Chain A
Amino acid sequence: MVSVIALCAGGALYVGGATFTQLLLGGVLVGGLYTVTALGLALMLGVMKILNFAHGEFLILAAYMTFWLSRLMGVDPFITLAVTCPTLFLFGMLCYRVTLSRTVRKGFDQPVVVTFGLMLFLQNVYTLLWTGNTRAVLTSYSTNTFIVGGVTITILRLVVFILSIAAVLIFHIFLSKAYFGKLIRATMQDYEVAELQGVNTSRVYLLAFGIGSALCGFAGTLISLMYAFEPSVGPLYLLKSLTVVVLAGMGSFLPLALTGVIIGIAESFGSFLVGGGFRDAIPFVLFLLTLLLKPKGLFGRY
């Protein structure tokens, strides 16, 4: 802890005040997106102990949907959320029903094979349908900024951040206050005993997978606004999300907000210090460090 603070202080002195704030802010804003991106993965991992290798592909599906809706029908990308979330919700449940439901609770290997296969399958479907060309969703306001206290803030990034935080909060409230949220948490802690209370755990799994997928839909739309993408970009987001999850540890979901921001800030400062080309490598480094130093994560319960 002390070393982290010392590092930060040292960094601040090195880069100078305004730049430091700029980088910090940029990192925080991106961090919010990383958190909501990791949420779906964390839910599936927590409830069903399934690592969805196709997580990135789910995100990209939503990204493509947003791209085509805004390109072909001129729909504002934020409006497409109303389409991508329900679609991914249903799509996720369909994938689960058709493939994964039989592999749940039968060990770690089977679900891995299935989701990995799903990942390859989807990547190729995207390439076939929409070619390997890089896409990006641009709007008339994509580059609008405003300046506050010497720091430039991109409005788009701010809006994405606010939406991300809102989604995380709504998800948290759902899990803690809604009855079905309590059933999900109970199933996470002891699925056999949950079944003994009359909880239809098969249905909980199905719906949890659906909700996780819907979260991917949400995050995917936002990603399409911030970054360019193409069919093979999925695994990158999978690994970034996994880093957020592993750093937080298994147990509750609120720490993901913190670790998402940590990763964002690390990327921000890291790419400034070692060059933009290395930006995507930074989460990988953090991932390895976490496994080496704190495998249970910062807030892990299991």
Chain B
Amino acid sequence: MLKIEDIDVYYGQLKVLHDVTLTVGERELVAVIGSNGAGKTTLLKSICGLLKPQKGHIRFRGADITGTPTHKIVESGISYVPEGRRLFPYLTVIENLEVGACISRARKEMKETLKTIYQIFPILKERRDQLAGTLSGGEQQMLAIGRALMSRPELLLLDEPSLGLAPVVIQKLFQTIKAIQEEGTSMILVEQNARQALKICDRAYVIETGKIILEGAGQDLLRDERIRKAYLGVR
């Protein structure tokens, strides 16, 4: 479904991603783990067009989306939940969701999609006229994911969704993420919380200073000694 081929991405003069290659298949949950500054967010930003690779290509369903404007990429079925939620703080919960359905194909089905989102996240229905900036961390994360789902994406990109959330909330969050995958949406899950990410994913990539250093099935990586030492806190 998604093929990233050998991309180099720069921030100004600084090379942040080196020859990154990555694939995501239908209904697959792919995790990308790595420490701070490894380039995980850069990778996701490059997929949705906020950054443009200097080298290499990104193909979605066969079409080359490298360098395409962001809103067109969203039209074609990719949705991104940014790091730190980044809701529209002075819009209400329901307004955030409505804006999420901006693309034409989603706008027609807005009512239906809203129903589904409210089923997955009942708290959003409860708080629908509340300003997004006044929600708690966990609620904001749910709204951010809900908003991204409003465009009915085929591929959902999640950037560190567990950041700043209480452990109890994180559990619920990952359950929800798995449920979304089971409904048919492919996902790339970028996480610093390596254990949880590896547990629920099908495949995973490990990225370090801009390079993919390891790739494999989630379960295999969980047992890998190097991973356990570096990311899972095992001594």
Contact = CB atoms under 8 A, between A and B. Distances in A.
Interface of A: 179, 182-183, 185-186, 189-190, 192-201, 251-252, 301
Contacts of A183: 99, 102
A182 B95 contact: yes
Contacts of B48: 196
Contacts of A196: 48, 50, 70, 74, 79-80, 82
Nearest to B81: A196
A189 B70 contact: no
Given A182-B91, A192-B50, A198 B86 contact: no
26 contacts: A179-B107, A182-B95, A182-B98, A185-B95, A186-B88, A186-B99, A189-B89, A189-B90, A190-B86, A194-B88, A194-B99, A195-B71, A195-B74, A196-B50, A196-B74, A196-B79, A196-B80, A196-B82, A197-B74, A197-B147, A197-B150, A198-B151, A199-B102, A200-B69, A201-B71, A251-B90
B100 interface: yes
Contacts of B74: 195-198
Contacts of B98: 179, 182
B75 interface: yes
Contacts of A194: 88, 99
Given A197-B147, A198-B71, A186 B91 contact: yes
B interface residue count range (under 10 / 10 to 19 / 20 to 34 / 35 or more): 20 to 34
B103 interface: yes
Contact of B90 (A185, A192, A193, A195): A185
Contacts of B90: 185, 189, 251-252, 301
Contacts of B80: 196
Contacts of A185: 88, 90-91, 95
